[in-house]
């Protein structure tokens, strides 16, 4: 194994999710100046995280499920209306061309 390739600052760190009031002890090289007293009585550096497993919607069961069937129906309705508008404009153009031809003849 190569020597001196691993970071020297790899140490135990407390990760703190303040929104969910959840923390866990892990190892990291993350730089921090704050410390916290952990359950075992030792003092560890603390890294504040925005989202953890305690606050992420996937893990908490608050995940939103999209109604894809409704999206497809709305898309089909829009394309049908667009086709009807296109056909109506084509008929209007034909009538205008026919009336213009009558006037010139």
Residue 68: the pLDDT is 67
**pLDDT < 70: residue spans in the chain:** 57-68, 105
- The alpha carbons of the chain give a radius of gyration, in whole angstroms, of 33
Q: Is the pTM of this model over 0.95?
A: no
Residue 44: the pLDDT is 95
Residue 64: the pLDDT is 66
Question: Tell me: the pLDDT tens digits for 39-63?
Answer: 999 999 999 988 887 877 666 666 6
Q: How far apart are CA 105 and CA 94, in angstroms?
A: 16
Residue 12: the pLDDT is 93
């Amino acid at each position: 194994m190569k020597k001196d390739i691993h970071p020297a600052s790899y140490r135990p760190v407390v990760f703190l999710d303040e929104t969910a009031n959840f923390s866990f002890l892990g190892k990291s090289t993350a730089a921090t100046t704050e410390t916290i007293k952990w359950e075992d009585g030792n003092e560890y550096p603390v890294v504040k995280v925005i989202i953890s497993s305690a606050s992420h919607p996937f893990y908490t069961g608050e995940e939103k499920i999209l109604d894809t069937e409704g999206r497809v129906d709305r898309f089909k309705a829009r394309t049908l209306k667009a086709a009807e508008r296109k056909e109506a404009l084509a008929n209007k153009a034909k009538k205008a061309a026919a009336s213009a031809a009558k006037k010139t003849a």
